[in-house]
Amino acid sequence: MVDGDKSLVVQDETIIEVAKRNQQGTVPLYYNTRKAPKEPVTSDSRYRGLSTAFTGGNIGICSNNISKIKNSQEIRNPETKQEAMDCLRWLCMTNNLVIDFAKTLYKSTPPKEVKEIISKYTNRKLPAFFKYAKDKSDNQVEEINDCIVNRIFTLYDESKFKIKFADKRRFDYRILMSNPDIVINDNVLTTYKEATRYAKLKIGKEEICNAPVIGDIISTMQKLNYAQYEICDMLIKDMFKEHRVFKDSRCKDFFFRIYGDIVYENIVTNKPKYGLVCVDCGEPLVNNRGNRCRCPKCQKAYRTKYLAEAKRKSRAMSTSSTSKKSR
């Protein structure tokens, strides 16, 4: 997904063709607005201007309402399309007025009947794709419909993203740590919890946008009387073993952005120690060929068990097909 500003400069033939097609019959919006009365520029008037821009110039709500209409089923339905388009035009004007509010000090008030029509479209939740675009939860968004952006869902087979860890023994969280025996200091956990509680990452934006938020958390953690790798160890131990702070993926999101480099170093150092052991008995794998995960002894036992199971299944299958035939 791209920002509107970026989509204006793409050279993709298909996008240009679709843009042209969608422009047909579209004319510039015409409406009357107002000008603020003239007044001398003073510190007071500047302050008032800034303050008005902050309090009355928020286009977020209006833009989200426009998204609700653009992605509604009504705009795709020939009977309701006109009404939905009219709503879009009204809200587009409103949005423009809000943007200029600090300069014009003017916002229009829609007549009652217009207000009623608009609210029919806007008194609903956000389109389904906001779950991914703005990190909304399932109960903050509408059911998925087949509006254009929602159709991106169908391009990705969700099962491809689900990784099964059928054999969990292969992962030992201690591989991420520098000292697995570290004693957790409660103050470290509380500080991390507090520092991340209200912090919010911008999803889908360039990493640089999140730098100030991440920087604040780093500075807070640096004030603690521990080395960064020790803090990292304590957090990992909580994440995988004690779960006092790490209860949801939100905390982990910050963690890997802040301590990812230390964790990487630890993995590199620990790999020979933890990475190449038999998943069944834990013995180190020597002369490991073909990326095996079991030592020769356990591999033999595993294979015997596997073959016995396969035979049992095939016997069960043939019995059931015989019994079906006899019916």
The residues binding Zn ion (CB under 5 A) are 278, 280-281, 295, 298
**C-alpha–C-alpha distance, residues 126 and 150, integer Å:** 12
Which residue carries 């309402």 as its tokens? 65
Please identify, using beta-carbon distances, which residue of 221 and 278 lies nearer to Zn ion. 278
Instruction: Tell me how far, at minimum, the Cβ of 292 lies from Zn ion, in Å.
Output: 10
Question: Which backbone phi and psi does 146 adopt, to 5 degrees?
Answer: -100, 35
**C-alpha–C-alpha distance, residues 86 and 218, integer Å:** 49
**C-alpha–C-alpha distance, residues 277 and 284, integer Å:** 4
Cα 26 from chain centroid (whole Å):
34
User: Residues 107, 111, 113, 117: what is their CA dihedral angle, to the nearest 10 degrees?
Assistant: -10
Instruction: Tell me how far, at minimum, the Cβ of 304 lies from Zn ion, in Å.
Output: 14
Instruction: Tell me how far, at minimum, the Cβ of 167 lies from Zn ion, in Å.
Output: 13
Please identify, using beta-carbon distances, which residue of 36 and 293 lies nearer to Zn ion. 293
**C-alpha–C-alpha distance, residues 177 and 203, integer Å:** 28
**C-alpha–C-alpha distance, residues 258 and 199, integer Å:** 13
Please identify, using beta-carbon distances, which residue of 245 and 295 lies nearer to Zn ion. 295
Nearest of 253, 262, 207 to residue 234 by alpha carbon: 262
State the first-to-last Cα distance of the chain, in angstroms, to the nearest integer: 57
**C-alpha–C-alpha distance, residues 141 and 124, integer Å:** 9
Instruction: Tell me how far, at minimum, the Cβ of 245 lies from Zn ion, in Å.
Output: 35
Instruction: Tell me how far, at minimum, the Cβ of 313 lies from Zn ion, in Å.
Output: 25
Please identify, using beta-carbon distances, which residue of 253 and 280 lies nearer to Zn ion. 280
Please identify, using beta-carbon distances, which residue of 224 and 279 lies nearer to Zn ion. 279
Instruction: Tell me how far, at minimum, the Cβ of 274 lies from Zn ion, in Å.
Output: 15
In order, the DSSP letters of 95-132 are HHHHHTHHHH-------HHHHHHHHHHHSS-B-TTHHH
Please identify, using beta-carbon distances, which residue of 89 and 305 lies nearer to Zn ion. 305
Instruction: Tell me how far, at minimum, the Cβ of 291 lies from Zn ion, in Å.
Output: 15
- For 64, the token pair is 């989200």
Please identify, using beta-carbon distances, which residue of 83 and 280 lies nearer to Zn ion. 280
